[in-house]
Structure 1
């Protein structure tokens, strides 16, 4: 079974470069996690400061391990989240 996470992030255009850099660092580290199958970062077309993340893990426990990783705390919690003006996350399990 696969566990998917789709996150929509928006920040002020002035913060876009900082958010983009942190997301790319998070992508690099996350792809080395044992339970990670995919971690994609997209810039939303025609929406300055908009990002879409698509992540896939072996299971929900794999995603929980991701959230406990030091790079998640450093890049996402401490760097990205404080710069966001909007954030939504959807969780899904493969059928």
Structure 2
């Protein structure tokens, strides 16, 4: 059992690290926008748009995980994050 734990511990820690970095980057965007003429009320409204899609998408992801398995789902989600991170610098506006 300890051997199985050591095999999966590092990939799980890296996965959580990647998703936490992606989710917490919204604070940097709000900090950059605070230097412009956008009010704090509108910046707080923008923060809600980070949390609501996560809540809605998690409902659909739960069925995906049950259907395809946790390993396949995790690999698929990491691939989506990798593709988005590669393409995001080439997008003109956020």
**Shared fold per TM-score greater than 0.5:** no
Scaled by the length of structure 1, the TM-score of the pair is: 0.28
Scaled by the length of structure 2, the TM-score of the pair is: 0.28
* Structure whose alpha-carbon radius of gyration is higher: 2
Larger relative contact order (CA 8 Å, sep ≥ 6): 1
The structure where strand makes up a greater share of residues is 1
